Chain A
Amino acid sequence: MSEKKLAIIATKGTLDWAYPPFILASTAAALGYQVQVFFTFYGLQLLKKKPDLQVTSLGNPGMPMPMPMPVLLQALPGMQGMMTSMMKKKMKSKGVASVEELREMCLEAEVKMVACQMTVDLFDMSRDDFIDGIDYGGAATFFEFAGDSDICLYV
């Protein structure tokens, strides 16, 4: 059985959207896939040494709320921090792994992570901001792997 390949582009830098790329990458690796994740734009936040990921209900009417709340109230200072800590608490109580834990498992399983060099430069980020063990590259680097992939996802 030749190794299947999964390629993912991770573009989002919020707590909720950090999960799909890391869950899929770690699980695919456990199933024997060779996996590469390309992090670009806000997805770069997921590679920070100490990611400070937040969640917001703004612009997201699908988020389940403990009580109905007008959008203008949701925009008040402190609301995002409150929602983030509520979400983290809920995840912990339901036995959902933390983002850092899943990322660690991806690294252990030799998931290859590539940071988009162009967006690193665009946002004036430094390689020192990111975890060790990742690569830096551009669109051509992504296609080198994705061109041969069996599954290719944009998250």
Chain B
Amino acid sequence: MADFDQELDASGLNCPLPILRAKKALASLSSGQVLHIIATDPGAVKDFEAFAKQTGNELMEHKEEGGKFYFLMRKS
């Protein structure tokens, strides 16, 4: 995965906490910076896509590996 500016480990957290934590983390970044999010909630995949679509932040990449989900999100 590409470089990132900040990492958020939301492993073990369930809906809607990964989204709420990500929102908080993005607020501390400046426009163009990238947040790396780790989650274990399978619902997070669809939720982060929907979050990106509605907030304008770009979901650059996401993948699943060993039961974990990884996301790269660039702040708009």
* A-contact 0/1 string along B7-22, CB 8 Å cutoff: 0000011111101100
Query: What chain A residues lie within 8 Å of B40 (beta carbons)?
Result: 95
Query: What chain B residues lie within 8 Å of A32 (beta carbons)?
Result: 54-55
Query: What chain B residues lie within 8 Å of A94 (beta carbons)?
Result: 14
Query: What chain A residues lie within 8 Å of B15 (beta carbons)?
Result: 23
Question: Which residues in chain B, 19-70, are within 8 Å of chain A measured between CB atoms?
Answer: 19-20, 23, 40-41, 51, 54-56
Q: Is A14 an interface residue (CB 8 A)?
A: no
Could you tell me which B residues sit within 8 Å of A by CB distance?
A: 12-17, 19-20, 23, 40-41, 51, 54-56
Query: What chain A residues lie within 8 Å of B56 (beta carbons)?
Result: 1
Question: Which residues in chain A, 65-118, are within 8 Å of chain B measured between CB atoms?
Answer: 94-97, 105
Q: Is A34 an interface residue (CB 8 A)?
A: no
Task: Give 13 CB contacts A-B under 8 Å.
Answer: A23-B15, A23-B16, A30-B16, A30-B20, A31-B55, A32-B55, A95-B12, A95-B14, A95-B41, A97-B13, A97-B14, A97-B16, A105-B20
